[in-house]
Amino acid sequence: MASIFEEIADAVVKAESEAKVRGLTQKALDEGHPVKKILEDGLVKGMNEIGERWKQGDAFIPEVLLSAEMMRAGIDVVKELIIRDGIKPLGKVVIGTVQGDVHSIGKSLVGMMLQSSGFEVQDLGVDVTVGKFVEVVKAQKPDLLALSALLTTTMPAMEDTIKAVKKEGLKIKTIIGGSPTSQVYATSIGADGYASDAVSAVDKVKELLDLPPEIRFL
Ligand code: B12
């Protein structure tokens, strides 16, 4: 018989309904299992599995996004306990698509993968002005700022944002991505990192924050 953790992971992968994931997560809590185990062996495990399938070409983006919704529903159930148990995120990330650009799918995937790997992610959405990025970074003091651009015409907004954040003297790592960008471009605008897809983005963020590659929730 499958364990409750396997059931949760399976429900995230299959993404039948949020209610099912919520119910199973609550059941695991009622049975007295630790939140960390519910996260690591259930919700996050399921999310990682769908991420792996996508990487191998065995799952498509809508399926990944749906599973992410399932994971979020489960996390909602354990949220208060996460805080109570003092489970700390690996770091805080602010992500957004830069000014003038409304492409959201890749950015959301990156944010979601980071979240399922244990980072606290604040997604500012699309068409985010330089001023908004600076304002949020000043207020939230995240460890890392992640910028997405899908248009060649909006790439310069990445440079403007990085320059503006640095000008404020804020100590923060930056990573960029999106199809027209590259490592060469990242270096040229002073970004600390670049990644070509959501899975390698997680590895790169860990590297930038000096975290070991295999680490999950602290
Ligand atoms: C869907 C789409 C749209 C949708 C967006 C809907 C949405 N909610 O996102 C709509 C219809 C709104 C749209 C509009 C436009 N689009 Co459009 N769009 C696309 C399309 C078909 C797919 C993009 C996508 O979602 N890909 C799937 C995701 C998963 O991939 P991704 O975005 O590349 O993200 C991955 C990586 O790049 C990386 N990544 C992404 N962000 C980040 C961030 C970080 C920090 C990191 C580390 C990694 C990372 O990881 C992601 C996951 O693996 C592309 C063509 C294509 N095949 O790419 C054109 C494309 C991007 N669009 C294009 C254009 C021109 C436009 C318009 C100007 C069209 C018009 N004339 O109106 C408008 C611009 C609107 C605006 N101001 O932004 C061009 C851009 C050309 C260029 N190089 O400048 C493309 C390439 C199409 C083309 N071949 O001409 N578009």
Query: Which tens digit of pLDDT belongs to each residue from 54-72?
Result: 989 999 989 998 998 898 8
Residues 29 and 109 in one domain: no
Q: Are 185 and 194 in contact (CB under 8 A)?
A: yes
Nearest CA to ligand 1 atom 29: 106
Task: Please check whether residue 214 lies inside any domain of the structure.
Answer: no
Tell me the residue range of the domain where 185 lies: 92-208
Pairing label, strands 193-194, 144-148: unpaired
Among 68, 84, 100, residue at a domain's last position: 84
Closest ligand 1 atom to Cα of 153 = 84
Residues 36 and 130 in one domain: no
Residues 70 and 105 in one domain: no
Per-position b or e across 54-86, b if 16+ CB within 10 A of its CB: beeeebeeebbebbbebbbbbbebbeeebeeee
Q: Are 172 and 52 in contact (CB under 8 A)?
A: no
Quote the CA–CA distance of 65 and 60 in Å, as a whole number.
9
Give pLDDT, residue 198: 84
Q: Are 16 and 70 in contact (CB under 8 A)?
A: no
Nearest CA to ligand 1 atom 60: 150
pLDDT tens digits, one per residue of 5-42:
999 999 999 999 999 999 999 999 999 998 888 988 99
Measured in angstroms, how far is the CA atom of residue 150 from the centroid of ligand 1? Answer: 5
- Return per-residue pLDDT of the chain as tens, 218 residues: 899 999 999 999 999 999 999 999 999 999 999 888 898 899 988 988 998 899 899 999 899 989 988 988 998 898 878 777 778 889 999 999 999 999 998 898 899 888 878 899 999 999 999 999 999 999 999 999 999 999 999 999 999 999 999 999 888 999 999 999 999 999 999 999 999 988 789 999 999 999 988 776 66
Measured in angstroms, how far is the CA atom of residue 106 from the centroid of ligand 1? Answer: 8
Lookup: tokens for 126: 């699309």
Give pLDDT, residue 217: 67
Work out how many domains the chain is built from and give that number.
Answer: 2
Reduce the DSSP state of residue 174 to 3 states and report it. strand
Residues 177 and 77 in one domain: no
pTM: 0.86
Q: How many CB atoms lie within 10 A of CB 131?
A: 11
Residue among 103, 105, 181, 202 to mutate when testing ligand 1 (max atoms within 8 A of CB) = 103
CB of 178 sitting under 6 A from ligand 1:
yes
What is the rounded end-to-end Cα distance, in angstroms, of the chain?
Answer: 30
189 secondary structure, DSSP code: T
Mapped to the 3 state alphabet, what secondary structure does 118-131 carry?
CCEEEECCCCECHH
CB of 102 sitting under 6 A from ligand 1:
yes
Residues 200 and 107 in one domain: yes
Residues 98 and 64 in one domain: no
